[in-house]
Amino acid sequence: MTYVGQSTSAAHQQETTPATVKDVIAAYVGLTKPRVIELLLLTTVPVMFFAARGIPALGLVVATVVGGTFSAGSASVFNCVYDRDIDEQMRRTRRRALPRHIVSPRSALVFGFALGILSTVILYVWVNPLSALLSVSANAFYVFGYTMWLKRRTTQNIVWGGLAGCFPALIGWTAVTGQLSWVPVILFAVVFFWTPPHTWALALRYREDYANVDVPMLPVVAPAAEVGRQIVIYSWVMVATSLLLWPVAGTGLVYPIAAAVLGAVFLLEAHRMWGRTKGTESLTEIQPMRLFHSSNLYLSLLFVAVALDPLLTR
C-alpha cells in the first residue's frame, strides 16, 4: 500500500520487511495510545488523594490504575480499528500499527476485548461495582458515541466526544468513596471544558490531514480566528469552573492559588494565540502547538494541586 507523501518503493519496503517480536510488542502497546492513558490517569490518581483527604490505600490505587489503564487502552484499540482507513492517510497517524499492517484488525479487536474484560473484572472485584460501571460507560461512549458517530459527522465531535475523557475524575472519586458527589462532577467539568482548547490546537496544526479525510474538526471548517475565539471562550469557562472546587469542596489555599495562577497563564497563552490568528492562516505564525503543550502542562499541574491540597493543609 502506498501512503500519502511516500514513494511506492518505500511503501513496498515497509510492507515486505518482516516485523520483529519487539516491533509487534511495540505495535500492540501503541494501539493503546499510552500518552492518552497518561493524561487519563493524571485525572484519576490525584482525585483519589483528594477523596481520601490524604494518601489512599496503595492496593486500591494499584487496582484503579491497572483497571483504568486497561479500560482506556481497550477504547483506544477499538478507535484504532475503526479509524484505520483514515489513519492510513494522515501524516500524524499513518505509522500506527494497523496502517503499517504489523497487527491485523482481527487481532486488534481480540486485544481490545481482552483489555476491556480484564479492566471490568479488576475494577468490579478489587475496586467497586460503581467504578467498574463508570469505566465501561466511558469506554462505550468513546467507541460508539465519539469514534463511530460524532467524529465524522459534526464540528462538535470533540466537544461532546470529549465526555469520555472526563470519566476518570469520577472513577477516582468513587474508587475511594463508593459514591458520587458534586466534587468529582466539578473536576469532570474542568476536563470537559479543557478538551476543546487542547484538541482544537492540535487539530489546527493538522487541519490539512483532517480535511483530506473529511473529518469536520472545527479548524477544518472555520477560519483560524474563529477557532481562536472558541478556544478563548472555552478556556475562560474552564478556569472559572476550576475555581468552583474551592468553595464546593472546602479546599485549603493550595488548590485555589494554584488554579488561579495556572488559569491566568493558560488564558494569557490562549489570548495570545487568538491574537496571532487575526489576519493570517499561517501555522508558522499562529504556533498552535504552543497552546497544545501549554494545555497538557496546565492540566497536569492543576491535578497535582488537587492531590497536594489535602496533604499540605491538614
Residues 129 and 220 in one domain: no
- 237: domain CATH number? 1.20.120
Residues 76 and 208 in one domain: no
What is the total count of domains within the chain?
Answer: 2
Please give the chain's pLDDT, 314 residues, in tens.
333 333 333 333 444 467 788 989 999 999 999 999 998 999 999 999 999 999 999 999 999 999 999 999 999 999 999 999 999 999 889 989 999 999 999 999 999 999 999 999 999 999 999 999 999 999 999 999 999 999 999 999 999 999 999 999 999 999 999 999 999 999 999 999 999 999 999 999 999 999 999 999 999 999 999 999 999 999 999 999 999 999 999 999 999 999 999 999 999 999 999 999 998 999 999 999 999 999 999 999 999 999 999 999 86
Among the candidates 142, 176, 210, a domain finishes at 176
Residue-by-residue DSSP string for 161-228: HGGGGGHHHHHHHHHHHSS--HHHHHHHHHHHHHHHHHHHHHHHHTHHHHHHTT---HHHHS-HHHHH
Residues 81 and 152 in one domain: yes
Best CA proximity match to 277, nearest among 221, 219, 217: 219
**pLDDT at residue 9 in the model:** 35
Residues 92 and 156 in one domain: yes
Q: Where are the alpha helices (DSSP H) in the chain?
A: 8-16, 21-31, 34-42, 45-52, 58-82, 84-87, 105-126, 129-140, 157-161, 167-177, 182-205, 207-212, 218-221, 224-249, 254-277, 283-286, 288-312
Residues 203 and 186 in one domain: yes
**Residue 140: CA atoms inside 13 Å, Cβ hemisphere, count?**
8
Number of Cβ within a 10 Å radius of residue 175:
32
Query: Per the structure block, which three cell numbers stand in for 100?
Result: 503499517
Residues 1 and 71 in one domain: yes
Among the candidates 159, 176, 193, a domain finishes at 176
**pLDDT at residue 1 in the model:** 32
Residues 109 and 18 in one domain: yes
**pLDDT at residue 313 in the model:** 84
Residues 284 and 150 in one domain: no
Residues 169 and 185 in one domain: no
Among the candidates 155, 176, 197, a domain finishes at 176
**pLDDT at residue 133 in the model:** 98
**pLDDT at residue 134 in the model:** 98
Residues 134 and 189 in one domain: no
**pLDDT at residue 4 in the model:** 35
Residues 91 and 131 in one domain: yes
pTM score: 0.92
* Boundaries of domain holding 287: 181-314
**pLDDT at residue 17 in the model:** 63
